[in-house]
Structure 1
């Protein structure tokens, strides 16, 4: 009798790793799945594999680990009352996090659950008689490799397991690297090319393989004083980047911020992304995470405001200023800021015409005016003007974002720090908080050119070739005046350029480690312990594996 495994999973399938005790997978025979076609069964096994991505990329999970731990983002204890959370965001920024940090634990659990769901699909899909099963198996196996790749980057290990009833083998260093690479190579021939950025495709695997080889020196020797970038790895980076570029399938966006619009699922710059479309119940909170509590992105929802969350550090801001001085970076580089509120103070706009400014937000903020819980109207339109800290019970204090932000009382106030609104919040929302809609880029074409440039520099110091790749990306943003062409290129300049192109995109920590910058000093951070390049394994996971002595060993220094 053929059996179908329905993937409504509450998982601990990696065995012991999520500190749970049972596996609630429902195995149903054909007679108990009335009306379920083979196609529906195949879809029902693959969908949960991808469903963990939005949870991983939630603002307090992967974004927190990849951005707030760096020189790019900082989240102080706002006003002495908000974002305290027992100091976990301060510790993340200062590299003093512990194994009990709930956000580290959640990120670990979602990654391991993703691996477990993929394993379930890999073992079940061969029993389903549907033509899509072969492709779906490749996607599930490839997603297992991707989740393991993120685990390797964050925690320094992977879990290798094919038998759903067996115990995962823990791999580190070269063995872990080889495992992830081999898995990607095994699935690439069976993947499609035309299913959009929300599913694993050949282009996505090429991009992930390029990234894997680019970071291979780090993964082999995590605590090295200087990383050894092997020429053969750099050759592979170029090879896979060339495959993507030469495929002709992807295109650099003319409008930089269109890459992060709520309709970006069809943007040809995206190669692999977290699918956040509203019809899939997307939950992109990065659109309001950084905003003031008195900034409201959607006229339809007067209760949905910003959280006064993270700001960019003065250190990161100064890289923009120093690069373009005496010009203001907003005038010199269209990636820094996009003006959408082209109106004088105290103007009125329709709901459809109201769009917040994008990019790095500085100084006095303008937006929808709210009084007694409702937006002020001008007939059918909405009043827009200077904002004040009304929601913070400071109605005479304007919302003026300042460069200074730190962990002092003065530096932790509600308006300290320049904020970031990179992702557009969807007007399809039914609450002002759900249905974020803008997909999160995992791999996009600009990164492919940048990775190729870096490989050229690291292998043979091909500054001319690297400069051409970087300038091609800069020159592509023709919807407005593109940034001026660079005249020279080296690794420090490339690191700076990656910051300009990919800020707030959850690449910064990985970049900083690879470029040897992660032990540096910046606002409120001076820890130079190389062992902090990876995070602690959650104590709950170690406790859950306690009946297997020596199985799950804590990372050094935690």
Structure 2
């Protein structure tokens, strides 16, 4: 009974957070605020906030799509009648979205829901540790809104819900997030699992704030203040000094047991069945199902691919390009990384598509595939998370145990290398990048520049949800590339959804929309 009452209160509070009522107003006739406080358990609120990470980040049509489908790493071509969805996927690739684009609008709402869930924890007398974790989750959500839309709706805990949230501009939001993360580091624990907000997660997100600060202020002509770059370097050194991280076998970072075998993952979302501690629902299968063919094991939805120009950035020896993976290839025949050429099952039998043609993934790719004999096989496929094949009842399905990765150590090292390069310390940057490349069995370099570094970030972090942000910071996002023509500077920001403009008068549409 107590749990049901808490759920009812949470549901009402959540609904109020997205509209214009207050908790007191909704419940005032039957329940005082003091009674509500006595019923609501902060740990349950915090779990809800952690669970709020799933939809905006793990779901394939939310922020991941906005970061990767708009960039040079991922594409969802229309295949005959499949994957048309009224052209929403093509709009992302061609950068011709509107304020009513479904996935842009849904993502904006879902991230603001996460922000509310995290902020709501702070209204019910959390401990210092609980408050710090909630503030980290809120900062992560705010950072994402800042990155995508350049203005951040914000309401302090306890503010009346009768008024529309205030809106921070890019500079205000950046300053606020930096202040929040700096303040909570001391309260966050360091010796906790990666799926719990921790000191090094806050440091890594702070690094992203300082690295992108100039890009958030001026996306067409980013600047990089030397003091900000020094902060990036110092934060990276603090993460390294914690002694908790080292470079791991690449695909182990994303495997079903990555919580146990990865030494790189700094912040993740816990997935899989049967967890009684902080955990999420599960949608990590959305990061292999959309790309795999219907007749592969596990079966997929036959959609996502990458472009051949991106695939060609990898050397043949680079382990990040993929290959056999224990526990997957031996059980299903499926390899990880980039899939090109003939596909087989565990017995080595050649797979076929639904028309009986050999399932040979090709380099050729169009945004709209119409040839019925080839449309199921065009495009190089990508498997970043090795499917969880450990449970015959759920293998490859949505009860997979792979924890979803937000922040990891290789990214920290590459951010440090970038900060060094942007402050004329190319030699030190080269040492870091060559160490990563050596671990990935790629050739070492004799020199480094920004063009080589952005390509290296692509090789290391592909399909992890950072590519659009990186391309903007490096001044590459507006350039034409395979399947995308010349561009408009307005696309450096997403439009504020029409429905959100209607309910929050403090939001202003971004230029050009």
TM-score above 0.5? yes
Shift of 1:16: 4.4
Tell me, yes or no, if structure 1 residue 145 matches structure 2 residue 100. no
Contact 2:154 2:168 in 1 (8 A): yes
State the partner residue of 1:338: 323
Residues 127-155 of structure 1 show CA distances to partners (whole Å, capped at 9, x for unaligned) of xxxxxx22011111121111000000011
Tell me, yes or no, if structure 1 residue 230 matches structure 2 residue 245. no
Tell me, yes or no, if structure 1 residue 475 matches structure 2 residue 460. no
Shift of 1:385: 1.0
Tell me, yes or no, if structure 1 residue 310 matches structure 2 residue 270. no
97-106 vs 65-74, which moves further: 97-106
Shift of 1:384: 4.5
Distance 2:305 2:46 in 1: 37
Contact 2:152 2:168 in 1 (8 A): yes
State the partner residue of 1:247: 242
Decide which of 377, 385, 396 is 2:349's aligned counterpart: 385
Aligned residues: 488
Distance 2:123 2:35 in 1: 20
Gap change, CA 1:497 and 1:111, over 3 Å in 2:
same
User: SS where residue 87 of structure 1 aligns?
Assistant: helix
Tell me, yes or no, if structure 1 residue 537 matches structure 2 residue 496. yes
Two-structure CA RMSD over aligned residues (Å) = 2.7
Tell me, yes or no, if structure 1 residue 367 matches structure 2 residue 345. yes
Tell me, yes or no, if structure 1 residue 499 matches structure 2 residue 458. yes
User: SS where residue 468 of structure 2 aligns?
Assistant: helix
Contact 1:262 1:425 in 2 (8 A): yes
State the partner residue of 1:379: none
Shift of 1:248: 0.5
Contact 1:120 1:164 in 2 (8 A): no
Shift of 1:555: 1.4
Mapping for residues 267-306 of structure 1, pairs under 5 Å: 267-279=262-274, 280=279, 281-284=281-284, 285-297=286-298, 305-306=299-300
Shift of 1:388: 0.6
State the partner residue of 1:485: 444
Shift of 1:23: 7.7
Contact 1:361 1:419 in 2 (8 A): yes
Shift of 1:118: 1.4
Contact 1:283 1:437 in 2 (8 A): no
State the partner residue of 2:148: 154
Residues 113-138 of structure 1 show CA distances to partners (whole Å, capped at 9, x for unaligned) of 11111121111134xxxxxx220111
User: SS where residue 74 of structure 1 aligns?
Assistant: coil
Distance 2:415 2:264 in 1: 15
Shift of 1:296: 1.9
Decide which of 188, 195, 211 is 1:191's aligned counterpart: 188
Decide which of 354, 359, 363 is 1:403's aligned counterpart: 363
Shift of 1:31: 7.6
State the partner residue of 2:111: 111
Distance 1:8 1:28 in 2: 15
State the partner residue of 2:86: 86
State the partner residue of 2:201: 204
State the partner residue of 2:72: 71
Shift of 1:190: 0.6
Distance 1:269 1:50 in 2: 21
State the partner residue of 1:417: 379
State the partner residue of 2:120: 120
Gap change, CA 1:13 and 1:251, over 3 Å in 2:
farther
Structure with the higher strand share, 1 or 2: 1
User: SS where residue 245 of structure 1 aligns?
Assistant: helix
Gap change, CA 1:258 and 1:47, over 3 Å in 2:
same
Tell me, yes or no, if structure 1 residue 456 matches structure 2 residue 420. yes
Shift of 1:176: 1.4
Distance 2:467 2:27 in 1: 37
User: SS where residue 92 of structure 1 aligns?
Assistant: helix
Shift of 1:353: 3.7
Displacement over 4 Å in runs of 4+:
4-7, 12-18, 22-34, 349-352, 429-432
Gap change, CA 1:248 and 1:107, over 3 Å in 2:
same
Shift of 1:13: 5.1
Shift of 1:358: 0.5
Shift of 1:404: 1.0
User: SS where residue 389 of structure 1 aligns?
Assistant: coil
